[in-house]
Amino acid sequence: MKNALVFALGIALTATVVTSHAQTYQWRDSNGRLVISDRPPPPGIREVRKMDTSPAPAPAAASGAAQESAPRTTAEREMDFRKRQQEARERSEREAKDAAATAQKREACERARQQLAILESGNHRMVVPDGKGGEVFVEGEVKEQEMERARQVIAESCK
């Protein structure tokens, strides 16, 4: 167990030392834009400056055009990746909610159509709660109200 812990600690320290010695280069490209990269500049660039890689406050942001032409850092790529993941997750959740809402509307539409068909057929006597713990047969004005309510649900849900 101790050997595995020592080995893991050794790997972690080695990775830290290797990344702390990374070089950063700064130069101006053929269009005069400032380029900062961890890769050496292409051949033919006369004025190259090696930068100190010790942790320091981030420099002021360069103009939008210079940032677009400069190679992107790992942190920027990671941020973009996480942003795309979040957007995809939100889009997926939104699509799932839309699908569920559509399914509910379709189900409500079908129930309302069945209810209306039963009420219009006159072959079945329907019973509804009267609100006092009892039941009442649906006839006359109550039947017309139920039919109108079913038509309204169909109008709203069956679009």
pLDDT band at 40, cuts 50/70/90?
confident
Residue 130: its pLDDT value, please?
A: 79
Instruction: Please name the residue ranges forming H helices in 21-139.
Output: 64-69, 74-121
Residue 113 domain flag: yes
Residue 141 domain flag: yes
Residue 86 domain flag: yes
Residue 56 pLDDT > 80: no
Residue 143 domain flag: yes
Residue 61: its pLDDT value, please?
A: 52
Provide the pairing of β-strand 127-129 with 135-137.
antiparallel
- The whole-number average pLDDT for the span 43-71 is 63
Residue 88 pLDDT > 80: yes
Residue 140 domain flag: yes
pLDDT band at 45, cuts 50/70/90?
confident
> Of 107, 101, 113, 106, whose CA–CA distance to 149 is shortest?
113
Q: Based on the structure, what is the number of domains in the chain?
A: 1
User: For the segment 102-154, what is each residue's pLDDT rounded down to a tens digit?
Assistant: 999 999 999 989 888 888 887 767 777 778 888 877 777 877 888 898 898 88
Q: What separation in angstroms does the CA of 135 have from each of 127, 130, 138?
A: 6, 5, 9
Residue 115 domain flag: yes
Residue 59 domain flag: no
pTM of the model: 0.42
Residue 74 domain flag: no
% of the chain surpassing 90 pLDDT: 21
Bridge partner list, 34: 28
% of the chain surpassing 70 pLDDT: 78
Residue 103 is part of which domain span? 79-157
Residue 107: its pLDDT value, please?
A: 92
The segment with the largest mean pLDDT, out of 30-39, 54-63, 85-94, 148-157, is 85-94
